[in-house]
Structure 1
């Protein structure tokens, strides 16, 4: 019976080649997207599962307790947390800290008489290798970094720094000051690992090992709990440990444990995370929704075209039922036809998926490879997708067509009316989804354009930050600044701890002694000229002094307007006032600048301060230059750097490019949205094209009569197109409120955003009408231009 169903299904597909081709093409596109998205989701959910103790590993999170506006979750904890938990919490088996080199700055590495730049150097505790079982090629993971001034390299880093030379026992020099002995080589961390270090150096080398603090929250901290230990009970005990070590007045945070299973997908909004591999559960949900939507549109195409063919299939069903066929057998027959067609589409979809993996990786930032598609879990998943698609796409045709009675076939009028209503509803659904996607893409691009052109309150264009971390002495840094100032293209130069778009030091700003929680504030050690380099607007007072006398303990502070507003002062009133922001008792406000966006536009403007305390370094030289020749300027800057520091590499960052990186995820959203929108419209148009062809076929005699009676090609085209255009208008009316609701929710993730205006809906509606008109008109004109003599012949 099954073999017979397949034979009949194959003949049926061959009999209506155009309808079969349209269905296969639509389903192929839907299945291709579904396959790729299934692979992507499976890959994203596989993060960290390769570690043996995956279920018992947690990351320590810091939950700030400032005012509601400033509450945040930090992925890094104070240095004192890990040793305290290991010693005082019985449930903890291992605890380890990770500190990215210089809090995230590029490391300058000298190895084998060559200079390198390294962004993934971490200072870690030895127990990191016990928590994350790491395969060592050389060396012993149990003791590799127990001693100070030791380091282990990844396999790729060892090849980069030493080539074919055995690195064991060799030394590397970091920032031209710290020598580290290579004591091991480990296999590169997997692509689906949150831990992504190239070099892991001993934490005992750092100052923080000897003097661990409970205040500086800059250390990513992981713990492994013992078997059957309770997360909730452990968190309660952690609070007791915090109360024991930090008095209530100094507790600006609480601690919690994040399961390793949630680290990758649920940390997008956390601050200070070190990993370069951050996923997003919202992205997974959005991509899944869009993929299912396109697949559903393809399934609707199949249903639509099958109901359109129902009149032709009705006689076949009637004859089979008259000869004794049951409804059950006919359902099996129609499902066999659907299954065969979806299997063909699935095979095409798999081939297309493999072909476009590189493009998919580029658009989404994923790391899929061909081997992943051969995994048993993926193959089983693809089979499930095929089965579900077959059941969904074939459900309505199978039960609808198999339900025909022989007597009803003799009275097709009611059935024809019913078919028409169903087809119209399905067309409305398809184009409603398409219009929603068009509106979404337009709003996303509008928001991106808004962010690109928004006045940030400072001028990041033509400003470059040159890293001076490898230059050891103040005199050499000053010599570099003097060399740079001599360049004809340079306008202004200043040294700073950081720049807008990167994290600097986080502190708390307090109004008075009674203000226990305070307000979080970013503080940046800077020269007097930095405000001019950034072209900040001074509202009151003056900039930082150019010269600070030796032994001067006074800390000069320039606050932004947001910080002054929190203090309850006007810019003028603030000048000369002492300020409590953990910079000592002698911190005094000498200037106020206007607010500026030092973070992503997703976030509201916070409090910010420039100061000249001696306790923190200024590892960046900020240079404003004219835009006559960027290439020439950078060559001159590199030459000046090489003159002062010939033994280290030249590392720099353009401020405007750095700000653009903050919106990389939003640009990916726009690209993916555009791609899915185009595919959804294309698949919907396939169905509309098929329906237009069917309509033209059904009305060919009417068209012939009208042409004989003098109707023009334009008139007949309008007649055939009118019904479809009415459906598109209905789709637009339904889609607009849905699109507005969805996109308004998306825009709420931005502190600074555009308003959704009528122009977006007008453009989206016109796009839908034009696309539908082009699709339908092709078949309409073809039918209207046909020879009426042929259409009037008897069947």
Structure 2
């Protein structure tokens, strides 16, 4: 029986070729997009699943109080791990991780060759136990148990030493730290939140000998013993905090984050060391988008099948008259749908394979074709086929199979009216979804443009930040500044700890010594030229002193207006006032006030900021403003001067404007994905509309012939055929706009600085939807209007 149903389905498929092609193409695109998004979601959810102890591994989170805006930090104090080892027996292993230079690139010298290393970490040896890191050479238990030792990954060993044995070799980090290679470990998987190219001994760091409870800069992972409660361990951690830190000094409390949530549930956290952080909201949005596009494709099928209901109902009447049962008819219609969806699935899989490389470029993921053949993915693909078959075939199967033989053979008006209303509802549903996508893309694009064009309060154009981490000693750094000043294209230069767009030192600003709250402030150690270089607006006082004598205990700061507002001074009266900043001992005085500027992304409101000349941090960047039109020539000269001062080193730099653009990489990716999939979704919807218009024109060809004989114009007939569809699009617009407004309003709440909804966003979306529908329908309408009326009248 099933074989017979398949034969009938295949015969119908060949008989109605236009409808079959439209159905298969629409479903193929819908399934392809759904499979692609499913692969992406599967990949994102696969993070950290390779670790055998994953169920008992947690990352310590620092939850700050109101003074720090209730931020959640992925890094904890260095003193926490030793205290855990001493006082909490439920913790089997605990390990700290410090990214080199708090996130700066390391300059690694092997022989006479210097490499740039972005993934060098200083870790406790227990890290190897927690993550079961496989060693190819050396012993995990002792590899970094003593100072000045380092282990490297398999690929890093190949890069540094070629085919030579790296064991026992020395490498030099930042021109002053000599480390012995004591192990080679297997490369970390791409879908691991922990991703290290080199792991050096934590006992070599400043924090090992003098661990602090105040500096929260160390990612800390714990492995709990079996069957230990997360909540109970969190309680013990905070008891440990009470034991070691006075209540007045407790600006945070501690919680644990399961390893399985580290990748997808950390998007709003700060200080993560992960190479790449996912976002569960994005996963949910992609899931919704995949379901929506697959639904649109299924609706196409239902629409076209119901459009042919007049012809198909007569078949049903004949079959029922001959004794066919309700169940057998349902099976027949589902068999036909199953053939179409299976063909669409095969085509969709090939389309997916073709688009995986492009999708990887858009999302910065590492999807591989081999993912398609993993058992869970294959099961998912089969499930999509079953769902598409059940959903797409549901209405044709149950509606047509339920028609009585009498009404099927007489084609009553009541049944015709019912089926037409269903078709109209499906068209409205398709275009409402398409319009929501159009509005979403326009809003995201406009927000991105707003962020790119927003005045940040400083000028990032033609400014390059050159890393000087590998430049040893202040004398060499001063010599580098002098070399750059001699270049004609350099207009300003300043040494700095950091620059807008990168995190510098987080401290607290206090009004008085009795101020129990304080205000979070970022402090940046800089040269006096920084104000001119960034073109900041100085609203009172002056910049920092040009020269600071060795041993000078007086320090100067230039505050932004946000910090000044907290202190309660006017700009003029603040000059010369003493200021209290956490970690700055002695006399610190305000010498200048600059207007507020966006030193972070526009997701956050402007906070307090201070430029200072206190010798608390290294100035590891040379900021250079240039005025040359030849960027290549400028960078060549800057590199030449850099290598003259520091021969054999690597030249690393970043342009400030490019760095700021990277702050919005996620939004840009969302915009590109949204635009791409919206176009595809609209195309799929238009396929259905095109088929429906073709069928309508076919059904009304006798009416069109009569109208033409009676003098109707081509324009009049085209307008008549198009108007019914445009009315449906208008209804879809009315339904879609409120939904789109609510969705995009919620999305914009993620930004401290955002656009206001403008009426023209909806106007453009509505006009686009109407134009797209008109173009789709008018092709068939004009074709029908141009047909020979004599042939049309002979046909019936």
Q: TM-score, normalised by structure 2?
A: 0.99
Q: Which consecutive unaligned segments of at least 5 residues does structure 2 have? A: none
* CA offset digits 1:339-397 (Å, max 9, x no partner): 11111111111111111110111111211111221111111111111111111111111
1:83-102 equivalence runs, <5 A: 83-102=82-101
* Corresponding residue of 1:159: 158
* Corresponding residue of 2:459: 459
* Corresponding residue of 1:699: 700
* CA offset digits 1:74-104 (Å, max 9, x no partner): 1111111111112211111001111111001
Distance 2:66 2:84 in 1: 24
1:219-238 equivalence runs, <5 A: 219-238=218-237
User: Secondary structure of the residue that 2:182 maps to in structure 1?
Assistant: strand
Distance 1:412 1:682 in 2: 34
* CA offset digits 1:203-254 (Å, max 9, x no partner): 1111111111111111111010110111101111111100111111111111
* CA offset digits 1:138-196 (Å, max 9, x no partner): 11111111111111111111111111111111111111111111111111101110111
* Corresponding residue of 1:688: 689
* Corresponding residue of 2:126: 127
1:160-175 equivalence runs, <5 A: 160-175=159-174
* Corresponding residue of 1:650: 651
* Corresponding residue of 1:756: 757
Distance 1:519 1:24 in 2: 61
1:387-786 equivalence runs, <5 A: 387-409=386-408, 410-582=410-582, 583-786=584-787
Cα offset, 1:23, TM superposition: 0.7
User: Secondary structure of the residue that 2:165 maps to in structure 1?
Assistant: coil
* 2:310–2:411 contact (8 Å) kept in structure 1: no
* Corresponding residue of 1:35: 35
Distance 2:504 2:22 in 1: 57
Q: Which moved more, 1:90-99 or 1:516-525?
A: 516-525
2:169 matches 1:150: no
* 2:553–2:586 contact (8 Å) kept in structure 1: no
* 1:112–1:161 contact (8 Å) kept in structure 2: no
* 1:558–1:610 contact (8 Å) kept in structure 2: yes
* Corresponding residue of 2:318: 319
Q: CA RMSD in A?
A: 1.0
User: Secondary structure of the residue that 1:792 maps to in structure 2?
Assistant: helix
Distance 2:161 2:230 in 1: 44
* CA offset digits 1:550-582 (Å, max 9, x no partner): 221112111111111122222223222222211
* Corresponding residue of 1:64: 64
1:186-205 equivalence runs, <5 A: 186-205=185-204
* 1:544–1:556 contact (8 Å) kept in structure 2: yes
Cα offset, 1:779, TM superposition: 0.3
Cα offset, 1:321, TM superposition: 0.8
User: Secondary structure of the residue that 2:423 maps to in structure 1?
Assistant: helix
* Corresponding residue of 2:354: 355
Distance 1:231 1:408 in 2: 66
Distance 1:355 1:51 in 2: 32
2:248 matches 1:249: yes
1:248-287 equivalence runs, <5 A: 248-287=247-286
Distance 2:557 2:441 in 1: 44
Cα offset, 1:5, TM superposition: 1.5
Q: Which moved more, 1:683-692 or 1:533-542?
A: 533-542
Distance 1:713 1:256 in 2: 72
User: Secondary structure of the residue that 2:95 maps to in structure 1?
Assistant: strand
Distance 1:473 1:269 in 2: 38
Distance 1:181 1:316 in 2: 83
1:210-225 equivalence runs, <5 A: 210-225=209-224
Distance 1:519 1:94 in 2: 36
Distance 2:789 2:628 in 1: 69
* 1:510–1:519 contact (8 Å) kept in structure 2: yes
Distance 2:88 2:109 in 1: 41
* 1:108–1:174 contact (8 Å) kept in structure 2: yes
Q: Which moved more, 1:725-734 or 1:234-243?
A: 725-734
User: Secondary structure of the residue that 2:580 maps to in structure 1?
Assistant: coil
Distance 2:587 2:243 in 1: 30
User: Secondary structure of the residue that 1:116 maps to in structure 2?
Assistant: strand
Distance 2:579 2:674 in 1: 48
User: Secondary structure of the residue that 1:491 maps to in structure 2?
Assistant: strand
Distance 1:645 1:389 in 2: 64
Distance 1:136 1:372 in 2: 27
Distance 2:85 2:394 in 1: 59
User: Secondary structure of the residue that 1:385 maps to in structure 2?
Assistant: helix
* 2:112–2:648 contact (8 Å) kept in structure 1: no
Distance 1:35 1:112 in 2: 49
* 1:264–1:278 contact (8 Å) kept in structure 2: yes
Distance 1:794 1:451 in 2: 62
Distance 1:511 1:309 in 2: 78
Distance 2:357 2:725 in 1: 38
* Corresponding residue of 2:178: 179
Distance 2:411 2:48 in 1: 63
User: Secondary structure of the residue that 1:520 maps to in structure 2?
Assistant: strand
1:325-344 equivalence runs, <5 A: 325-344=324-343
Distance 1:570 1:585 in 2: 24
Cα offset, 1:58, TM superposition: 0.4
Distance 1:743 1:148 in 2: 53
Q: TM-score, normalised by structure 1?
A: 0.99
* Corresponding residue of 2:307: 308
* 1:66–1:518 contact (8 Å) kept in structure 2: no
* 1:252–1:517 contact (8 Å) kept in structure 2: no
Cα offset, 1:135, TM superposition: 1.2
Distance 1:74 1:398 in 2: 55
Number of equivalent positions? 794
Distance 1:244 1:509 in 2: 26
Distance 1:459 1:71 in 2: 30
* 1:78–1:218 contact (8 Å) kept in structure 2: yes
User: Secondary structure of the residue that 1:214 maps to in structure 2?
Assistant: coil
Cα offset, 1:411, TM superposition: 4.2
Distance 2:205 2:752 in 1: 38
Structure 1 residue ranges, 4+ long, deviating more than 6 angstroms after superposition: none
Q: Which consecutive unaligned segments of at least 5 residues does structure 1 have? A: none
User: Secondary structure of the residue that 2:611 maps to in structure 1?
Assistant: strand
User: Secondary structure of the residue that 1:356 maps to in structure 2?
Assistant: helix
Q: Which moved more, 1:579-588 or 1:464-473?
A: 579-588
Distance 1:576 1:555 in 2: 11
